[in-house]
Amino acid sequence: MSVDDGVQVLELELAGLAEALTAPRLGECLMCFTNRMLAEFGCDHTLRWSRRYQQLQAPQAYGLRRRLLSQGICCDCDIFARGWDVAVSTVVDRESGQECWPPEVTGCRRVRRGSTQPCTLWAPRAGRP
C-alpha cells in the first residue's frame, strides 16, 4: 500500500465518521436530531439539518421545508426560536451555564420512522402561526 492509498483510506474513514456523527439515531425525532446537530455543529442559516433528517428518515415528507418556511422558519435554529420549545423543565449546567435536559431525560422519546413530528419533549410555542 502506497502513501497515497493510506491517505485515500483515511479520507474515506473520516467521511464515514462524519456521516455517522450526523445521522439521526434510531427513532430519534426531527427536533431532537436538529437540536443535537445545532449543539454540535451550529446553524449555517439554512435548513440543512432538518433537510438531512427528512432525506434520511422521512423521504416521503418532501413538504417539510415548505411547511417550515410557511411558519417563518428559515433556518434550523428558527425551528426552536419560533416553532418549538422544550416541554419539560430544563436545568442549567453549573459549569458551562448551558441549558440542559433534566437528569430523567436520557435522549429522544422516539417517534416512528417516517414521521417529522417531534417526540413529547417538544411543544409548539405559544402564538405560533
Interface residue list for Zn ion (CB under 5 A): 29, 32, 43, 75, 77, 108, 119
Residue among 14 and 123 whose Cβ is closer to Zn ion: 123
Q: How far is the CB of 79 from Zn ion (least distance, A)?
A: 9
Cβ proximity to Zn ion, 7 vs 36, nearer residue? 36
Give phi and psi for 7, each to the nearest 5.
-60, -45
Q: Residue 34 CB, nearest distance to Zn ion (Å)?
A: 10
Tell me how far apart the alpha carbons of residues 93 and 101 are, in angstroms, rounded to a whole number.
9
The CA–CA distances, whole Å, from 58 to 9, 17, 128 equal 31, 22, 24
Shortest spacing between CB 121 and Zn ion, in angstroms? 5
Nearer to Zn ion, 61 or 77 (CB): 77
Residue closer to Zn ion (CB basis): 98 or 117: 117
Percent of the chain as helix, strand, coil, to the nearest 5: 45, 10, 50
**What minimum distance in Å lies between the beta carbon of 9 and Zn ion?**
35
Gyration radius (Cα) of the chain, Å: 17
